[in-house]
Amino acid sequence: MNGRTDAVNGGVAGTDGPARHRSRIHELDRDIARLIRLRTAEDRRLQDARRAVGHPRTDLAWENAVLRGYQEALGPAGAQLALLLLGLGRSTPPRPAAEPEERTKEHTST
């Protein structure tokens, strides 16, 4: 047994357990990222609907309830996570990944 092999195996020599757990964590991370994108898009639609009927974009009482819910579920770090999620809903949406290629096509075809 050497330190390098143990590090690669997550500190557990001779098992595939760590690799299996890492794989599952990566799968969960992809799911979480997908759900965050869905939540962010829905939050933006909510803001648009509120503005369409003459209300402010944000509802602070609702946002405080979101913060409390995350804090109750996950502890103090949950409130930090909620703030990040709420902030994503207010930020400019990310550009699609395909856009740089489209820009390259535009420049090469002119």
75-107: pLDDT as tens digits? 999 999 999 999 999 887 666 655 444 444 444
SS (H, E, C) the chain: CCHHHHHHCCCCCCCCHHHHHHHHHHHHHHHHHHHHHHHHHHHHHHHHHHHHCCCCCCCHHHHHHHHHHHHHHHCHHHHHHHHHHHHHHHCCCCCCCCHHHHHHHHHHHC
* Tens digits of pLDDT across the chain (110 residues): 454 544 554 555 556 789 999 999 999 999 999 999 999 999 999 999 999 999 999 999 999 999 999 999 999 999 999 999 999 998 876 666 554 444 444 444 44
Q: What percent of the chain has pLDDT over 70?
A: 70
